[in-house]
Structure 1
Amino acid sequence: MTASRATALREALAERVVVADGAMGTMLQAQEPTLADFENLEGCNEILNLTRPDIVASVHREYFAAGVDCVETNTFGANHAALGEYDIAHRVHELSVAGARVAREVADEFTAADGRQRWVLGSIGPGTKLPTLGHAPYTVLRDA
């Protein structure tokens, strides 16, 4: 995020309620991506940043069209622990950059259309495992 965008976001947060998007995974699944879209890694939504950026962009567009100020990148599972479940932990950076690029392009598209600033929030999630339920040690998720 550029300094001017960061400053504008801080100012907006100080002045009003800034609205962010909602569920990314649910919206992506509603698009019915194929197993091929997932590179045979069923459920790995972050792969769609590369294979089907059109689907990811359409979700961002729906949220911006509904009036949100911010969208989250499609990177909730782009960490070593979650991608390790698919044996693609080495692709964390590639998938994260792609997710950020798609979100930023759509945000800029909406800002250009009406002049209202839009923001992109990096989504960092722990993945599908919870230490409180014994799925994985806390340290594994922390380090991811």
Structure 2
Amino acid sequence: MTAARIEALRTALATRVVVADGAMGTMLQDARPTLEDFQQLEGCNEILNVTRPDIVRSVHEAYFAVGVDCVETNTFGANHSALGEYEISDRVHELAAAGARVA
């Protein structure tokens, strides 16, 4: 994030109500990703950051279209514990970085 963007966010937060996006997981599931999109790891939404960034991007775009000021990254489960359940905890950095790039 550039210094100008950080300052713009700080100014917005200090002067008005800032609206953020909502249910990322629900909207991702609404796009009906396939088991192949999930690399056979059904429900691991963070995988979509690398396999289907178009789906993740479309969620961000839908929120911006209705007027939100900022969006979250698709990285809620990008941690060792959650990804460990799928036996891919070694991909934390990859999936988190991909989610940040998409957002």
Structure of larger gyration radius:
1
Structure 1 residue 2, shift from structure 2 partner: 1.9
Aligned partners of 1:2 and 1:92: how far apart in 2? Answer: 24
Aligned partners of 2:93 and 2:5: how far apart in 1? Answer: 23
2:79 alignment partner in structure 1: 79
Q: Deviations over 1:19-53 (max 9, x none)?
A: 00001000000000000000000000000000000
Gaps of 5+ in 1: 104-144
Gaps of 5+ in 2: none
Structure 1 residue 3, shift from structure 2 partner: 1.8
More strand by share: 1
RMSD: 0.6
1:116 alignment partner in structure 2: none
Does residue 46 of structure 1 match 2:53? no
Does residue 17 of structure 1 match 2:17? yes
Aligned partners of 1:52 and 1:45: how far apart in 2? Answer: 10
Aligned length: 103
Q: Sequence identity, in percent? A: 79
Which secondary structure does the structure 1 equivalent of 2:39 belong to?
A: coil
Does residue 70 of structure 1 match 2:90? no
